[in-house]
Amino acid sequence: MQDFSLYFELGWQHILDWQGYDHILFVTALCGVYLIADWRKILVLVTAFTIGHSVTLALSVFDKILIPSQWIEFLIPVTIFITAFINIIRKKPFKKKFNLTYILALLFGLIHGMGFSNYLKSLLGKSNNVVAELFAFNIGLEFGQIIIVFSVMLFSILVVQVAKVQKREWNLFLSSAIFGIAVMMAIDRWPL
């Protein structure tokens, strides 16, 4: 149980670490255009992202997928600026229950999972109990992700409902800022 709590803590600390703010930016871009009334859409998006990164986190830790880390570190900001760009060009929320955003959240989760795996592999070393530690780390990541989502939702409520900023204007501001940061990150991380 001591190992579970250790890896759980490492998981949530990793996703909330300001030095690795790319994951915070992605979750913010993914959920920041919604309000609390859209909680079902947010739940589906976060679940799709979770499924994606859980799969590749496990496959990468068990060495079933081997992609050079410099490409993963480049692709992570690419997923962020694509998500932010979609938020910018989309005039109205998608009406369909199943849409492109859900598919992209799943696919982009695959990329982010490989990014998480590099960190986790370095922690595990030659450990014999990889499955339990992987599970605990993943649960910790999810806990951290929930903290990000709730923080973004709370801030969006303050901006849109309390400060009376138009939702579309808030979406454009937030997504444009994230887009700009992500483009600079991608340029900095260009692998060639």
Indicate the Cα dihedral angle 3, 46, 81, 122, nearest 10°.
Answer: 10
Q: What is the pLDDT of residues 61-101, one digit of tens each?
A: 888 888 898 999 999 999 999 999 999 998 765 555 557 88
Alpha-helix runs per DSSP H in the chain: 2-16, 22-31, 39-61, 69-89, 100-124, 130-157, 167-188
Residue 9's domain comprises 2-188
Count of domains observed in the chain: 1
The whole-number pLDDT of residue 25 equals: 95
pTM above 0.85, yes or no: yes
The whole-number pLDDT of residue 173 equals: 96
> For the residues of 30-41, what is the DSSP string, one character each?
HHTT--GGGHHH
The whole-number pLDDT of residue 134 equals: 85
In whole angstroms, give the CA distance from residue 112 to residue 50. Answer: 10
- Residue 189 backbone phi and psi in degrees, to 5: -100, 10
Q: b/e for 75-90, b at 16 or more Cβ within 10 A?
A: bbbbbbbbbbbbbbee
Q: What is the pLDDT of residues 114-161, one digit of tens each?
A: 888 877 777 777 666 688 888 898 899 889 999 999 999 999 999 999
